[in-house]
Amino acid sequence: MQFGIFTIADITPDPTTGRVPTEHERLALMVEEATLAEQVGLDVFALGEHHNPPFVTSSPTTTLAYIGAKTREIILSTATTLITTNDPVKIAEDYAMLQHLTDGRVDLVMGRGNTGPVYPWFGQDIRKGIELAVENYELLHRLWREDVVNWEGQFRTPLQQFTSTPRPLDGVAPFVWHGSIRSPQIAEQAAYYGDGFFHNNIFWPITHTKQMVQLYRERFEHYGHGTADQAIVGLGGQAFMRKNSQDAITEFRPYFDNAPVYGGGPSMEDFTRQTPLVVGSPEQVIERYLTMADHVGDYQRQLFLLDHAGLPRKTVLEQIELLGTEVVPVLRKELDARRPATVPDAPTHASLVAAAEAERGAFDATYKFETGDNWTGLRAEDAKEGRR
């Protein structure tokens, strides 16, 4: 099972000091988080995508490429790649490039995001969100698997004899998780393609999460990708830890009470009862997260949000160290021990390459010149054939 952290890179005032980090400081902290996560044995660092203040995550590929140069093993993922407002051609190019530069340590969580105005900013209609997600991913899926693509859809200009470059590393596309909190259509989409489903349930009760994951598992089996328990599932999570649980509660309360995403809502006590948030000792985090599989079945990836709400740099790094050294080793041991042999591991580039080679044989990485004519949009010989 994979464990890691994700960040939305919010810039939020520290309610205990009033200090607001600069954009530069926030970006530098993300790099520190990722490198420390690798050092303490975590498997994944994931980065959200937002195009509005107070976030500084408008260019995930730039940030992840920089982190990739400073790390060697950790998987670099997105907590959301906006499949609705990004051009799927550019996604295909950017993440294949990142895949090559990091030797395959890349996967993506596709999502629609939670910021309505982003749609018109990028020339799209929020009322078409689901349709955009379905159509854009259909194109992206083909661009990574077909050397030459002819395509026409509703939301972008047609493609004729188009080849996306670079081609995916070793002929294997980056693994995709479809992320959705409340849209069954996206769970259905993940199941249709046999991709992963990531339910970032940090604001939701486990009963809702269970329903969404169960739908995905049933449809995964329906489409013939394997049994329901072989479907690839990831969950979000939140924690704030101190050795003494009361110290954690006292320290985190002002951050909870003043954070934009929490303030004015349920109390911290209600929120910890109703959602995956744990404020307490490492042992309490372990106790809560050992129960997640009882609700959703054995799953493959668990990510934690640790760096939000204005928490200072020192505290964030302490949280990552506690997660990696005291929480994850116990969770990994216990959850791996209970997982049946029929339940697959989380996909990695190496495992995807091995599966592809078992099906098609060794991949020929020789550059192919006989692909689409991207100078004119059509190869001359095709145009000649059309005049006959």
Range of the domain at 224: 2-387
Query: Whole-angstrom Cα distance, residue 218 to residue 213?
Result: 9
pLDDT tens, N- to C-terminus, the chain (388 residues): 999 999 999 999 999 999 999 999 999 999 999 999 999 999 999 999 888 888 898 899 999 999 999 999 999 999 988 888 889 999 999 999 999 999 999 999 998 876 667 778 777 777 888 898 899 999 999 999 999 999 999 999 999 999 999 999 999 999 999 998 888 999 999 999 999 999 988 888 899 999 999 999 999 999 999 999 999 999 999 999 999 999 999 999 999 999 887 767 889 999 999 999 999 999 999 999 999 999 999 999 999 999 999 999 999 999 999 999 999 999 999 999 999 999 999 999 999 999 999 999 999 988 887 777 656 555 556 555 554 4
Query: Tokens 């081609």 correspond to what residue?
Result: 167
Number of structural domains found in the chain: 1
| Residues contacting 109, CB < 8 A, separation 6+ | 46, 77, 78, 79, 80, 81, 176, 177, 178, 179, 198, 200, 234
Query: Tokens 């550019």 correspond to what residue?
Result: 90
pTM, two decimals, is: 0.92
Query: Whole-angstrom Cα distance, residue 13 to residue 19?
Result: 6
DSSP 8-class letter at 52: S
84 membership: H or E segment, kind and range: none
Q: Position 302: which residue type? A: Q
Query: Whole-angstrom Cα distance, residue 212 to residue 125?
Result: 26
Is the Cβ–Cβ distance between 32 and 63 less than 8 Å? Answer: no
Query: Tokens 């209609």 correspond to what residue?
Result: 125
Query: Tokens for 306?
Result: 């640790």
Domain containing residue 95: CATH number: 3.20.20.30
